[in-house]
Structure 1
Amino acid sequence: MILLFGGTTEGRQAAALCDRLARPFIYSTRSRVEPFATSHGEFRHGSLDEAAMAELVASRNVRLVIDAAHPFASHLHHSLFEVCQRLAVRLIRFDRPVSPLPSALWIHPVADFTEALGLLERLAPAKLLALTGVQSIAPLRPWWRRSEMLLRILPTRTSIEQARREGFPEAKLLPMSPDGPDEALEALVREHGVDCLLAKESGESGFFPVKLRVAERCGIPVVVIRRPVAPTWDTIVFSAEDLEARLTERADLKPLRTGYTTGACAAAATKAAMIALLDGAAPDSVTITLPSGKVASFGIVSYRAEQGRARCGVRKFAGDDPDVTHGLLIVSEVSLLPDGDPDEVRFLQGEGVGRVTLPGLEIPPGEPAINPVPRRMIRECIAEALRQRGLRHAVAVTISAPGGEAVARKTMNKRLGITGGISILGTSGEVVPYSMEAWLASIRNAIAVAAANGCATIALTSGLRSERHLRALFTDLPELACIHYGNSIGRTLEMAREHGGFSRVIVGVMLAKATKLAQGQADLSSRVVPLDPHWLANLAADLGYRPEITSQLADLRLVRNVTELIPFTIDEPLYPAIANACHRVCRQWLPDTPLTFVLLDLEGKSVISA
């Protein structure tokens, strides 16, 4: 899935390209836009803060973000940059080329609207024409409330309604497209007796050169708000052709980089800390053997030694995996215990590392969330350091991850009863990008924790949105009982059967994925199983729907458009038929446990098959 931030000429170009390349995408804008024809896109609108962006990226399995928003959407650009860096999601900036601003006495560059207002006070125009759009009404309010100002805005219902809400005088609104020739803007200036222009440095596609030419031709000053400072983009393109080249790069020629688990980082930090404790100084790097058998080297990025204790840190590198712990500092502090048994290693909880509070995991309640394999690796590093120096001591080791508590909110730790921070994980020591084994292991853990904490019923959903819909239907479902299968519905049901002990399993599936499940698919990913509109059309025909309906179903490009043809209600035969088919398919993976299947639409309406 591609997340595309648009509302601009570049945004529509990027959307058209994604459509032509058959890449599914979400077209996101701050304000509602008129939907355009698309076979592979969907629309959303509304402002997003960083938390909402991160949830959207995670919940929709976004693997690429295209930022084609307006150059002046500074807060959006920086938020997107931070979110994509944190989640290790690829980000492409589709920008407008910047030409040097001419040096002329009639061109007055300013940094922002505040500086523009100050300059306007000095220029004192009799009538200002602002070409800065509807979003500039609020920052320009001190001027237009007491001075003559015309405002050109896009001729859309959304822009006009926003101007009304802001209280701008309708008589001074000029709803018109900015893409006309120089003569159209010049006629506007002369007709209204405009003696000053206000514009943004919006580039060629923002028709900025037109505004400069008209100001020069009319002999009036133009106040230019310069582009805000942008993030340091890793990938930036200035044309649809360049963007297409990026989207069609041969991914198989660029192998994904593996990374290292938090457990491997903790072991490496421990080895360095033991050297610092016993020898008085930490090395610049250490080498350890991973459980996979590979040898890996880790740089030491922080070090401190005090009387009787030492601490060292390793920066977590997750390779090309979208791991939320990527970039965290994993710190190990070690000290010798005077009262412990020789060879004892006592694990203590540090800042940002969670504590286990519920049964069902490999680590008992009350212990820091450091899994068995990382514990073994840490013990081996401690034992090796002591043995090389002919020593035997009990050692206390405190693993911490500054900032880990905030990062843990983006994981399922709280649901598994791990509080206060991240888990120190890893079985091989390596992070394999997009590892299905890691995903299935997390599902298996969730099932085990639900069972160990008395959940007789578990609910399986693809993600948070379908979980919310399901818990609204089954209000007695605790959060602990809700398990996300992503796309792996077949394997998740098999794991529920293998674990056993549940009196009921509820499966919630959104309509699009349900059409694939109903055909017997165990993996519901769009990359694995494409939409089959002919199956839907044939099912509808068998149920007696009119030929004009079935022919339109056969031409569908998005399953969500089904509900535009056939309302999503239990009274329509199509939806119970899909739900019953899904129920029968689920039975092949969970044949004995009572099963309830819930078919859901985007608004949370449901059709149940039990």
Structure 2
Amino acid sequence: MILVFGGTTEGKKVASLLDWLKEDYIYSTRTPVKYKVGGEQINGELTFEKTASFCVEQEVKVIVDAAHPFAVNVHDNIKQVSLKLDIPILRYSRVFPSYEDEKLVRLFDSYEQMVSAIEAHKSFKIILALTGVQTINHFKSLWDKRDIYFRILDTELSRSKAIETGVDMARVLPEDPKADASVLMDTCKKVGTQLLLSKESGESGLMDAKLQAAKQFNIPLWVVKRPQLPEFDFEVFSDKELLQHIYRLRKTILKKGEDLQSGFTTGVCVAACVKSCLKALQTRRFSKEESVLLESGDKADFIIYDGKLGKNEASCLVIKNSGDDPDVTHAEEIGCSIRLNNSGKTTFKAGEGVGIVTMPGLQVKVGEPAINPGPRKLIEAQIDSIKKEVNINCGVEISPFVPKGRELAKQTFNPRIGIEGGISILGTTGVLRPFSSEAYVNSIRQYISVAINNQCRRIFLTPGKRSEGFMKAVFSDDLQYAFIHIGNFIGESLEIVAQEKVDEVVLGIMLGKAIKLAEGNLDTHSSKVVFNAEFACNIATRLNYPSEKVNKIKQAKLANEIWEHIPYAKEERFYMEVVRLAKTQCVKVSEVGQSIKFVLFTPKGESIML
């Protein structure tokens, strides 16, 4: 389950995307909202205690913080819950322009500082505050001294909140803040505004419109700076980045059950872009979504991003969903540029990040872009279909591109088989179907092999992104290829590194998996084994911890609760024993002489190593 804190433009975008993905989620807002979302909607202020309890009850796996940047209490509560329950936070942040070169703009650290500055400037008699109904009381000392007007949302709830402040309602201007900038300019002119007030609300808070109004009337725009937010596990600034992170999380903590999910090949991603570009050249606009009909009769649906249109050329991209297939291009940008010509033929060129074949023996001739026959056929089918639909007969030059293709190709076998400059565009049916956990284990084997072939004699195994980030902070000088995600397949991964005769292995995991491993469980997936409080309790008892601590551990529902009862210390006996037991299980799997290090990470990234 995903818990979304919304009530903002970003919150709506998150809900819309999760609806498209058919993800289960709960949408939380402080006050009721008029719009409907596909997930369960709740409202009301959630304290730290309520949020923590709610997350446990609803089995929340990820928190998406899309709350307003000024909702300080909300952000702090979310962060504390994340630390307590080890739930990652995905923050959808606003884009904030720089105001360094704007002479009319003055920034303040607080409303108190702003009010003091206004009181010191006697010349500002007529003021228009665009800071929202929640901030009216901040300016109470000015109500009787200046003609200060407050623009608020044009809703019953905002009106009632304004009335509660006791402000003269003649000074309250209900208005749609998302209206055209000209509406704000009309309001400024109507009241004779001499000073505009705002909070740093970012692009989605329509700061551009406020700046336009200030420039139009050559009046100062004073802005309260956004507060400093806590650190988040992940931070995105666009719908595209959000989709990428959700796809990545689906392979780890958002994975549902043991059934492996199918995805789509790189070839079908390119085909969707080609189709979208061709249609856009006819309609002069890109659609938000595009679908490709596969040989099976199924449809592959994509959201279209970054559409660019010229007279006879166009380009766009999609985000690839590989499902549970072990694929280095999962959640990456896959795009295509097309150019119309008079040849009547379809030709292929390698765009940025797509490899060129330099050795014989592959399905594509030497010198050609590494686009296999399967995706070529699929792309040509899309072109033929659109040509018939709009009755055109022209040539089309196809240039697939993968922005990170050169970097990603280093994690594949392309360099070894003579494909240079990027990845290959592959796929026959358009669908990636991982049949079992064997596919995931084989991917681990491939990654380990690639690491070895890139001269990595020390390999780092972590369950996922968060623990990898902690590991990189400790071992910052090692190559990227050396860090490998193994999910819950600890036993299988250790067998592979033993077979490959890796010189040194470092396994880094969090407490929950560490206790499972210490008990002898080499597959730590929650469907196979759950946290055994009795086992943890026995460790504490054997080490002579006080009875009150032992009893609290015995009652724990989650392993992370133990950190509250036994705080972190570098050589705390309980955690050292967990590490020792877990490492013992690891050594059983490996060959004699292989060096194994085990690292236990706290939710804050502190480490205990043996």
TM superposition score normalised by structure 1 = 0.52
The alpha-carbon deviation at position 467 of structure 1 amounts to: 3.4
Give the Cα–Cα distance (whole angstroms) in 2 for the partners of residues 458 and 136 of structure 1: 52
The verdict on how the C-alpha distance between 1:451 and 1:219 changes in structure 2, with shifts beyond 3 A counting, is: closer
2:511–2:560 Cα contact (<8 Å) kept? yes
Report the equivalent of 1:598: 599
Distance 1:557 1:205 in 2: 44
- State whether structure 2 residue 46 is matched by structure 1 residue 12: yes
1:329 is matched with 335
Distance 1:379 1:426, change over 3 A: closer
CA distance in 1, matches of 2:429, 2:82: 39
Q: Which residue of 1 aligns with 2:121?
A: 146
**Partner residue of 2:162 out of 211, 216, 234:** 211
Distance 2:148 2:369 in 1: 62
- Distance, in Å, in 2 between the alignment partners of 1:581 and 1:256 is 31
> For 1:349, what is the secondary structure of its paired residue?
coil
CA-to-aligned-CA distance 1:334-385 (integer Å, 9 cap, x gap): 99xxxxxxxxxx986322436799xxxx999x99995xxx625257779999
CA shift in 2, pair 1:493/1:332, >3 Å:
farther
Structure 2 distance, partners of 1:134, 1:547, is 49
Count of aligned pairs between the two proteins: 433
| Structure-1 separation of matches of 2:262 and 2:609 | 43
Match of 1:22 among 51, 59, 63: 59
Larger radius of gyration: 1
- Code of the aligned partner of 2:46: R
2:262 pairs with 1:262: no
Kept in 2: contact 1:459–1:507 (CA 8 A): yes
Aligned-partner residue type, residue 405 of structure 1? P
Contact 1:270-1:378 within 8 A present in 2 as well: no
Deviations 1:226-284 (A, max 9, x none): 544779xxxxxxxxxxxxxxxxxxx99xx9996531134557999999xxxxxxxxxx9
CA-to-aligned-CA distance 1:496-531 (integer Å, 9 cap, x gap): 344x13122221112233123223334445566544
**For structure 1, which runs of at least 5 residues remain unmatched after alignment?**
45-58, 68-74, 80-113, 118-132, 150-176, 232-250, 274-283, 305-309, 336-345, 386-395
What secondary structure does 1:41 align onto? helix
Letter in 2 for 1:41: V
Secondary structure, aligned partner of 2:597 = strand
TM-superposed deviation, 1:332: 7.8
Unaligned ranges ≥5, structure 2: 7-28, 32-43, 97-101, 125-132, 180-203, 206-254, 278-289, 342-346, 383-395, 415-419
Task: Give the match for residue 510 of structure 2.
Answer: 510
- Which residue number in structure 2 is paired with residue 582 of structure 1? 582
CA contact (8 A) 1:350 1:400 kept: yes
Matching residue of 2:40: none
Task: Trace 1:349-364 onto structure 2 (pairs within 5 A).
Answer: 349-353=350-354
Compared with structure 1, are the counterparts of its residues 206 and 506 closer, same or farther at alpha carbon in structure 2 (3 Å cutoff)?
A: farther
Distance 2:454 2:261 in 1: 38
Alpha-carbon spacing, 1:355–1:570, altered in 2? closer, same or farther (3 Å): farther
In the TM superposition, residue 483 of structure 1 has moved relative to its aligned partner by: 1.3
CA positional deviation for 1:447: 1.0
Q: Does 1:490 align with 2:527?
A: no
Is this contact kept in 1: 2:292–2:300, CA < 8 A?
A: yes
Contact conserved, 2:374 with 2:429, CA < 8 A, in 1? no
Q: Distance in 1 between matches of 2:357 and 2:3?
A: 36
Superposition deviation, residue 17 in structure 1:
4.2
Question: Could you tell me how far apart the structure 2 residues matched to 1:420 and 1:487 are?
Answer: 33
- Determine the structure 2 residue equivalent to 1:539: 539
Matches within 5 A, 1:294-313: 294=296
Q: For 1:435-466, what per-residue CA distance to the aligned partner results, in whole angstroms no more than 9, with x for missing partners?
A: 96665454333211111122222111233443
Provide the C-alpha distance between the structure 1 equivalents of 2:538 and 2:79, rounded to a whole number of angstroms: 21
TM alignment of 1:365-380, pairs within 5 A: 370=370, 375-378=372-375
Q: 1:195-594, aligned counterparts within 5 Å?
A: 199=150, 201=152, 208-212=159-163, 218=168, 220-223=170-173, 226-228=176-178, 259-266=263-270, 289=295, 294=296, 321=323, 328-330=334-336, 349-353=350-354, 370=370, 375-378=372-375, 399-401=399-401, 404-405=402-403, 424-426=425-427, 429-431=430-432, 439-474=440-475, 477-498=478-499, 500-525=500-525, 529-592=529-592, 593-594=594-595
Paired residues of 2:315 and 2:335 also in contact (CA < 8 A): yes
Report if the CA contact (8 A) 1:3-1:66 is conserved.
no
Q: What amino acid is the match of 1:262?
A: T
**Cα RMSD (Å) of the superposition?**
6.3
Cα distance in 2 for residues equivalent to 1:270 and 1:223: 49
Paired with 2:313 and 2:298, the residues of 1 have a C-alpha distance of: 20
